[in-house]
Structure 1
Amino acid sequence: MKKRIAILGSTGSIGTQALEVIEANPESFELEVLTANHNAKLLIAQALAYKPNAVVIANEALYDEVFDALDPHDIKVYAGANALNSIVEMETVDLVLTAMVGYAGLQPTIRAIQAGKTIALANKETLVVAGELISKLAREKGVNIYPVDSEHSAIFQCLAGEFHNPIEKIILTASGGPFRGKDKAFLETVTKAQALKHPNWSMGAKITIDSASLMNKGLEVIEAKWLFGLRQDQIEVVVHPQSIVHSLVQFEDGSMKAQMGLPDMKLPIQYAMGYPNRLKSDFPRFDFRNFSQLTFEQPDLETFRNLQLAYDALAKGGNAPCVLNAANEIAVAAFLNDEIGFLQMPDLIESCLAKVAYIAQPSLEDYVQTDAETRRLAEEFI
């Protein structure tokens, strides 16, 4: 039977590529729901092209525009955060792809898990902010969470058939971004235009800046803990500029497994949506003859402090990762708005980690309050 898909964040990089996967596999997938935050024009175009059952535009001011365009085509239109949270509970949805950016993905993901929906998780911030809460809820509801991030998908693929074998450690690979090998003197004056030129991947602005600062890898370290039930000392990061080895698992006998391929997010998207089946694709194939060498090096934690801050927040636990994420979201937005420099982002994050009250065992309400308090302090810093 076809899997009926809801895409949260369909106008972003992951969402648009997920639609391509659905279009290429009509015998496997059926589109039920599309959602977007502000991009009404693209949401309308997607809905007219793919004919979902319903769409949600989070920005309520854009409701009339979307409704007028889609109602004549018998596509239901809803607006606002409450609609976003409710739409994932539709009986006609089997799998929810959470491709929203940032903290905004937390509440809809919780509601989808509570409704018993399978989750294809591209919104890493959900597990960064509230990993313990999400993991516990998923266990209670018997819900599977399949990772979409290329690195976590690689780990997941390497573990296929190995779930009974204990992991010694995992190694998350990082491209190093556009500033690999640069020192602090160079980073003092980099511009957002430079930071947005990722060497290997085509992504949205926020995640591209996170990649340049290595915060993206820090968030992935925290996400990996909850996805795979690991200790911090079992999660290692290595810089791999070619982005061919997407990540590795080392088992207790010392053997290592790696998942490899060209940088293409459609592969992990399709793997998560199609699991446990590998669906045939026409994605470009890796050819060893085109790569004379694959290289690996240690990340520079002193220059790229965000990765170290993420490790520190993971070690502290409680609401510290929530603080890290909220402060980073404000820092990235400020950098993109030319309000702070590249090296001021870790300064802002470190300041918030020091100032926000620590809660060892936070509830959902604690996470909500921590997020709000951190954003207030971050704005003051700016």
Structure 2
Amino acid sequence: MTDENPPRTPTLETEAIHGGLEPDPETGAVMTPIYASSTFAQNAPGEHQGYEYSRSGNPTRSALESNLAHLEGGEYGRAFASGLAAISTVLNLLESGDHVVVGNDVYGGTHRLFTDVYEDYDLEFDFVDTTSPTAVQKAIRPATELVWIETPTNPLLRIVDIEAMSELAHSEDALLAVDNTFATPVLQRPLSLGADIVAHSLTKYLGGHSDIIGGALLTDQSTLDEQLGFYQNSVGATLSPFDAFLVLRGIKTLPVRMERHTENAQAVATWLETHPAVETVYYPGLESHPQHELAARQMDGFGGMVGVELDYPIDIVESIVSETEVFTLAESLGGVESLIEQPATMTHATVPRAERLQAGVSDSLIRMSVGLEGLSDLKADLDQAIDAGS
């Protein structure tokens, strides 16, 4: 018998501040220093102290990668110059002739990367409704090597069953990659649900202040991490030390920010459901959401993104989103400030209109990233913008 207590798993709030991080051993600096060095001195040819060249590895970036892995419950992390650089690195795992099943409601930049870039390298993509395991099963074929999903999706906030997608992908010896940008590891941890790779745009909630561009890939598989690391170094689209420092700073307040983002978004979505100009509200925290029960089971909160279908044509919708004063008309999401945009003319403009409409992304849809401002100010702003624009 022993008096020793079993090791305790730290809470996510504690991991956000301390996970994978230690004070600087040389100075005791509590905050990870910015190692603004392109190269590192070697004791002898090929004999270094863990770092040789900042593209291959940088202490500030390594600290961020370790912190991200702790947050996602994985073992390994890789940080990139953008979210799309991270996604492109996953596709570098594939070979000519391979097939990918993708959600039909994904970020427009992801769609463009897959169709306008990688199809030219003889990769094939099928865009399907990934909320339907049946649709995914029908799309999978012998050449399928990857299933790529977002959940919640961008911009319709659909929820995809990660465990079900994992079982489907793995039954066909394919990888499952989950873009977890909208949820963040505070609300959802796909690796624990069977995902092989988790992707993030660090630009969004993880950075949290609309001041950096970055991406990340997380996994708990050493062989997969080695492959991703090879392409990270070989292609060179790595995150700068300064941007890594800013993301580390942002992550320390991530749990607190996500709590407020979720609180504000839930209230705004609930209020908009009763607004006379609104046809449909897309928010997984609403009981009217078709995957509300799945979201409640799979997530620890519903996030700060809200989709709204207005009962107006595209030109009126353009006027409404241009009239906001607290919400800023801009692409991106996840910063402390509230943003509003029209996917049809902005984030998803590169998706062919027929394909976009088939996926449910209409001309009258607006997407909101609900920030940390006062709730009464957010409601009043949307109210006046709808009145002024219509």
TM-score, scaled to structure 1: 0.32
TM-score, scaled to structure 2: 0.32
More helix by share: 1
Query: Rg: which structure is higher?
Result: 2
- More relative contact order, 1 or 2 (CA 8 Å, 6+ apart): 2
